[in-house]
A and B are shown apart, each in its own frame.
Chain A
Amino acid sequence: MREKSKTQITLIILVLTALGLFLANRYLDPYKIRIINLSGIYVTLGLSMNLINGMTGMFSLGHAGFMAIGAYTVGILTMPVTMKEMNFFMQPIVPFLANVEWGFLPALFAAGLIAAFFGILIGAPVLRLTDDYLAIATLGFAEIIRVVFTNTQSLTNGALGLKGIPNYTNIWWSWGVALVTVWFIWFLMKGTYGKAFLAIREDEIAARSMGINLFKHKVMSFAFGCFFAGVAGGLMAGMLGTIDPNMFRITLTFNILLIVVLGGLGQIGGTIISAVIVTVMMEALRFLDEAMDLGFVQIKGIPGMRMVVFSIILIIVVIIREKGLVRRPKGRELTYAKN
């Protein structure tokens, strides 16, 4: 009975979300639609980072790097052949990519898979580290990716970036992917592998003694996280149409980390809500970056002032509710769902 009513609620939420998106798509102006798109992408990003940081307890700060890989994969694979010639005027693009023009779906898949591949490649040596060391190593990796992309002229067009990537991303793509991510992570965490991730987060020594292969599970979780980061990066490329290596700086990772911490480490629902709120607030608080006249004092416009607000919120949350704004519901039961 309870199981059944839960499914009904989930269905109702899904239908309402779809209806809301449909109406938004129809009646809102492009700027608002873009914010909705961005929210969807940040839901995917927040969840993928929460899987690594919140659920498996690995403090990784490499998200921007994996997004860059995904964004460039989609950019290069979907860009029309003539557009490529225009972009790569400094040095021609490597021959084997010159004539590729894929659809959006296979390109997104490729973006995820390549990001996951690099995740495994990086993860294999780096995931043996813990805490701060892992954070530094992954942070360094993300920066390396950015620097490499700035210098591989014939592959990524270097610092010039890519322009004219087809604008495939719409509300259905961004929220469709977000939904798939929610679904994937939800069932992953419900199943035995997800529980093993949680066990690793709680106590590595005990997890190991219960027969859980730490390395295998950490790499697995990291690869899934990187996959979705890559896909989200690809969606970002399809939304913006223009990408360059400087977009994927450490600040991008921190925006996602903000979502994860506000939403609560290890919480799926909280992450979705905080992803939407943070994305909307980022736009809504833009007035803070502009010049202000408070009557008694005049403030010149300082770009990035709105980030101060987020920093303050983050500090307050960390002090007062260290487990995130949304708490895990009490008395939640681990149930065996009957088919």
Chain B
Amino acid sequence: MLRIENLVMRFGGVVACNDFSAEIKKGQIVGLIGPNGAGKTTIFNVVTGVYKPTSGQILFNPTGDQQHRLTGLSPDKIAQLGVCRTFQNIRLFGELTVLENVFIGNHLRVKSDVFSTVLRLPHYAAEEKRMYEKSLYLLEKIGLQDTRNEKATSLPYGMQRRLEIARALATDPKLLLLDEPAAGMNPQETQDLIQFIREIKEEFDLTIFLIEHHMDVIMEISEKIYVLDHGILIAEGNPSEIQQNQKVVEAYLGVG
């Protein structure tokens, strides 16, 4: 599905990510962990095209027969290929309503041109109806159908995170990147979130790549985990391997 090869990302003299390689297979949930400033979000930003990597390449293969090179593409192209993300510091369209936020997620799949939207030609009307119904369905899925006309920023924090996921789902992604989806959530909310991620993965046939600081979340849902420290990959493996890995323990606790 996604292959990252020898990725290097330098900002001036700072090496945010050094020679990182990873592979995500279709249908997997893969975790990316590491201490603060390890370069996790940088990797997400490179995969989604926000940054251009210094070297290395990223290959995306959604169906198994078409290889796309993501490096060098703009973020909107990457989203159109089926890679969508959420943000660590929530980036909703704050002044717009909850429903509008999800509705906008559909925009990249619109086939009608702008003039047929103004004239509301029948083929656009049909298309808009589908988008509208899909948005409502996604809102129902995250339990926000009753607050659909509220301003997005008026929602509680946990709900804003879910809304971001719903907005990303509206783009019909094949690969979903979640940047700290459980940040700021209490244990109950976290449990709900784990359940929710599993549900959407099944329903929308997703592959999920997530960054998370809550170890219980990552250990519970990931099939494979990559551990970064100071931009370098220090371990990879399944949850039990990672938990016993000496380097990981040192990175998190410091060397005594």
A residues neighboring B (CB under 8 Å): 184, 187-188, 191-196, 198-199, 202-203, 205-214, 220, 331-334, 336-337, 339
A273 to B204 alpha-carbon distance, docked (Å):
47
Least distance between A289 CB and chain B CB atoms (Å) = 39
B residues neighboring A (CB under 8 Å): 48, 50, 74-76, 79-80, 84-85, 87, 91-97, 99-100, 103-108, 110, 114, 117-120, 122, 124-125, 128-129, 131-133, 148-149, 167-168, 171
A210 to B106 alpha-carbon distance, docked (Å):
8
- How many CB-defined contacts (below 8 Å) exist between A and B? 120
User: Interface SS of chain B: helix, strand, loop or mixed?
Assistant: helix
Q: Tell whether, in the assembled complex, residue B107 and residue A206 are in contact, meaning their CB atoms are under 8 Å apart.
A: no
Q: Tell whether, in the assembled complex, residue B100 and residue A193 are in contact, meaning their CB atoms are under 8 Å apart.
A: no
User: Could you give 21 example pairs across A and B, Cβ below 8 Å?
Assistant: A191-B114, A191-B117, A192-B131, A195-B103, A195-B107, A198-B95, A199-B93, A202-B94, A202-B96, A205-B50, A207-B93, A210-B84, A210-B108, A211-B84, A220-B114, A331-B149, A334-B100, A336-B128, A336-B129, A337-B120, A339-B122
A196 to B170 alpha-carbon distance, docked (Å):
14
Least distance between B173 CB and chain A CB atoms (Å) = 10
Q: A192-B131, A194-B117, A333-B99 are in contact. List 18 more A-B contacts (CB 8 A).
A: A192-B103, A195-B103, A195-B104, A199-B93, A199-B96, A199-B107, A203-B92, A205-B91, A207-B104, A208-B76, A209-B79, A210-B105, A212-B108, A213-B76, A220-B114, A331-B149, A334-B149, A337-B120
Residues of A contacting B108 in the complex (Cβ-Cβ under 8 angstroms): 210-212
B136: nearest residue on chain A (CB-CB)?
A336
A335: nearest residue on chain B (CB-CB)?
B132
Residues of B contacting A220 in the complex (Cβ-Cβ under 8 angstroms): 114
Least distance between B122 CB and chain A CB atoms (Å) = 7
A331: nearest residue on chain B (CB-CB)?
B149
Q: Tell whether, in the assembled complex, residue B107 and residue A202 are in contact, meaning their CB atoms are under 8 Å apart.
A: no
B172: nearest residue on chain A (CB-CB)?
A211
Residues of B contacting A213 in the complex (Cβ-Cβ under 8 angstroms): 74, 76
